[in-house]
Amino acid sequence: DTAVSQTPKYLVTQMGNDKSIKCEQNLGHDTMYWYKQDSKKFLKIMFSYNNKELIINETVPNRFSPKSPDKAHLNLHINSLELGDSAVYFCASSRTGLSDTIYFGEGSWLTVV
């Protein structure tokens, strides 16, 4: 079983559309994250979230929003997609969010045309 799984793996969509990427972890972890990897392979955190607190990277546009129906899921919603949103989005999780190993999903390749 994949510990952190994301769907879809590949997504091609038009500018202006709204899309979601789903993430599920079966590790029983309390904290989940979304990271963005740009075309130069630079990885940057977008959000971290546990049952009590959402921490947002201040550089993330408010068109991006995380939604967590329960502790094992953290979905990423993107409104009004722009060309610059094309990237690989990685979901990740850790047991407590404090000094713990962070495990990554396999990534979702988003292309906006």
Partner 1 sequence: GIQVEQSPPDLILQEGANSTLRCNFSDSVNNLQWFHQNPWGQLINLFYIPSGTKQNGRLSATTVATERYSLLYISSSQTTDSGVYFCAVEGYSGGGADGLTFGKGTHLIIQP
3 state SS of 92? strand
Q: 91 has which bridge partners?
A: 34
The DSSP letter of residue 85 is G
Binding of residue 6 to partner 1 (CB under 8 A): no
Among 17, 27, 43, 111, binds partner 1 (CB under 8 A): 43
- Binding flag, residue 35, partner 1 (CB under 8 A): yes
Report the nearest approach of partner 1 to the CB of residue 5 (Å): 12
- Count of C-beta atoms within a 10 Å radius of residue 43: 12
CB distance 32 to 91 below 8 Å: yes
One symbol per residue from 87 to 106: x for binding partner 1 (CB under 8 A), - otherwise; what is it?
-x-x-x---xxxxxxxxx-x
> Is residue 41 close enough to count as binding partner 1 by CB under 8 A?
yes
Contact 80, 63 (CB under 8 A): yes
Query: Which residues of this chain interact with partner 1, rule CB under 8 A?
Result: 31, 33, 35, 40-45, 48, 50, 53, 55, 88, 90, 92, 96-104, 106-107, 109
